[in-house]
Structure 1
């Protein structure tokens, strides 16, 4: 019987992993919480739209369609949409047992299933990281990813006019998506000065030759912004949002390279919506639950993998943004390699060697990306005592500082219990990295990714007996 490989996540990395495992001859169960594959990068319009050109806001749409159709129509692939991995159980040896809930997230009667794979590939992706600033909790302040998801997935704009701010090249496709969906974009603000970006991208420029396609993509965004007269300003950030009941204006300011504010450069801009993103936070709940070691970098924590995408946990592989923020092509390549090895493919095969070389180039590009768009160490200077840090529990920066300075607290857990930072509905997914950074050096033991239960589950669902799911030799095509 062929190996069973479970792939968690159906974005570029997950689809790549499924394709690689199928190519190696394995059976694949592909699990994703969304109704359609593609992840954030290829978020699809609902079928009810009957869109004539569903890929209009997407780069690489035809390649994605080919990969999606190949995977979902393959007779050895089971596609589980609207399915959530809520827990991983580590056995004595071998890959973890995978606990899944199938059904709409808010619906009753979800089915509880258990998978016992020979190998597990984790590709859950990442979500926007937003650094707090006064007023960021106001209605009308969105993450850039949320604004793009609504534009791509529903053709809805979050407001008009819109200001986009933060750091990283992701701001450009967000601006393009909003413009194409009909919004007026006032300006795009990159927090890092032009010199910082130039140093990051300009070091040994000949090494960028294999990524020439990205330069064309960047030029396309620049032309679109120019055509719609949208300024792109570097070294400037939103440091405050104001409004009565919702955002009405944004306060922007020039920043030094360390992201400290240059006094006297503040400017107030009337807005209907504000979209902010300061990079990405990898979704590390499942790797941590599986026992995978993390590696710490200036850009944050990521899942540690070897040259074959193996983690430190037996039978567990990782691909995509949880190993480093590098974009969709890098994630797809890592997924293909991880799936091939997880499915029993020969790591010395010519195909694996070619994937490894592509993966290494992608990692080099990711290193440049991190160097060109770092988070400045002085950003906490934007905060005031009353600035909300944890929006779920309305924990303020002042209360967090006081708790961290209290010798009786002693640990990050005590600070969390005392302030309730990270204990709300999002379970620290939004504020966790920020709280950990603010507590760094003050209290020990801050780990925002440790959650024995990775996703919400009802007590009734927890009490119901699970169904064991095993691959069948006569498995039929299961694409929806």
Structure 2
């Protein structure tokens, strides 16, 4: 009998895992919180290539050995029984069905979300993450503002700017916090290896042409250090920053805007992996040659194993799906995965997070927006010998205990306070008390 593989996440990694698990003869159930597959990367893509990609996804999901469960939230994992607990239905609606699955193998492709470093005024309406700005532009054809500044670190800023231009926004500038020397060093190291990624060079050229056509300046070595306004953001202050992201005094400049989108890369969403007992390395899920985690039968692919973009995620997903189905991944799949990972490492080298960004903060700067915990409160609590450890820090400041459960502020709080712990949460996704108390379908009354 064929193995039953459950894949959590239908982005590039999850879809690649599905394709190769089906090729290996497995029965596959694909779970995703969204109503359509593709994740953020394939959210309403533009052009004929995207249309073909959507058709390909639909054929995969309609395969007779595939069950596609959109609107599914996995909220817990029972390690003893290897049982997934999930809810099916709209997350903001009532009457969600409570179900369980016990797969033969599990592929975690839960992805990542934006990382945004705090700065004075970042909690103002009109300040968006780069991912949110792109999601609105691509998915809803909505611009976050008429006059927008795009800032942060990493090449993701470029497609975000392009998406905003497509929906009619004026992009004031694109600011890359890393100086040109840092970016050039990362990308120019061992240039012969870039030959395997000519497609990425074409993408970069297209973005550059789009910015030039719209006369949008691209300025490396500059960052947003403050947003100002009362009811919403009205202006932002930018400054030149050094390689470590410390501010160069006297280089501050003010821009009038009605929106700003800021992104400093991405952070993984490993909550379900932690619940399954998987070991993390530097916040990412540790995997072996076949993408298996430290837990037998649990595989991981995509951004939760290392931030590398859609191509790397798909390459890892292909290996994970094949292995989860009980087949040996072909050498070509392994080579493609390794090449993609090398590109991801180059990406991290070219666009690092400078260690001196905390110099942007003030005593009253909010770090945890859910609980309105300030930088001053956090640093005082971290230095209090009577309350050692991350658990005491959370209880003392409430940082990370709000509705987002640390998904937004967690990495920042950990970095500011010198901690790296990721605790197992029995409930890994928000769930209503009534849903928690409800009977699971199939269980006796």
The TM-score normalised by the length of structure 2 is 0.97
Alignment match, 1:67: 56
CA contact (8 A) 2:274 2:422 kept: no
Q: Are 1:333 and 2:315 matched, yes or no?
A: yes
Q: Distance in 2 between matches of 1:273 and 1:417?
A: 34
Structure 1 residue 62, shift from structure 2 partner? 4.6
Structure 1 residue 344, shift from structure 2 partner? 1.3
SS of equivalent to 1:389: strand
- TM-aligned CA distance change 1:22 to 1:460, over 3 Å: same
Structure 1 residue 447, shift from structure 2 partner? 2.4
Once the two structures are superposed, residues 65-104 of structure 1 have per-residue CA deviations (whole angstroms, 9 ceiling, x without a partner) of 2430231110110000011000111026xxx211110000
**Counterpart pick for 1:181 among 163, 167, 174:** 167
Report 1:272-421 matches (<5 A): 272-296=258-282, 301-347=283-329, 352-421=330-399
Alignment match, 1:474: none
Report 1:80-229 matches (<5 A): 80-91=69-80, 96-229=82-215
Q: Distance in 1 between matches of 2:425 and 2:173?
A: 38
SS of equivalent to 1:378: helix
Q: Distance in 2 between matches of 1:425 and 1:244?
A: 24
Q: Distance in 2 between matches of 1:222 and 1:447?
A: 40
Structure 1 residue 59, shift from structure 2 partner? 9.4
SS of equivalent to 2:5: strand
Alignment match, 1:258: 244
CA contact (8 A) 1:115 1:468 kept: no
Q: Distance in 2 between matches of 1:196 and 1:220?
A: 22
Q: Distance in 1 between matches of 2:179 and 2:48?
A: 27
Q: Which runs of 5+ in 1 are unaligned?
A: 45-54, 470-480
Once the two structures are superposed, residues 144-202 of structure 1 have per-residue CA deviations (whole angstroms, 9 ceiling, x without a partner) of 00000001110001101000000000000000011011111010000000000011111
- TM-aligned CA distance change 1:468 to 1:90, over 3 Å: farther
| 4+ runs deviating over 4 angstroms | none
- TM-aligned CA distance change 1:449 to 1:328, over 3 Å: farther
Q: Distance in 1 between matches of 2:29 and 2:112?
A: 21
Q: Distance in 2 between matches of 1:195 and 1:357?
A: 31
Give the number of aligned pairs: 443
Q: Distance in 1 between matches of 2:424 and 2:229?
A: 36
The TM-score normalised by the length of structure 1 is 0.90
Alignment match, 1:43: 43
Alignment match, 2:409: 431
Q: Distance in 2 between matches of 1:260 and 1:66?
A: 47
Q: Are 1:456 and 2:430 matched, yes or no?
A: yes
SS of equivalent to 1:84: strand
SS of equivalent to 1:321: coil
CA contact (8 A) 2:143 2:168 kept: yes
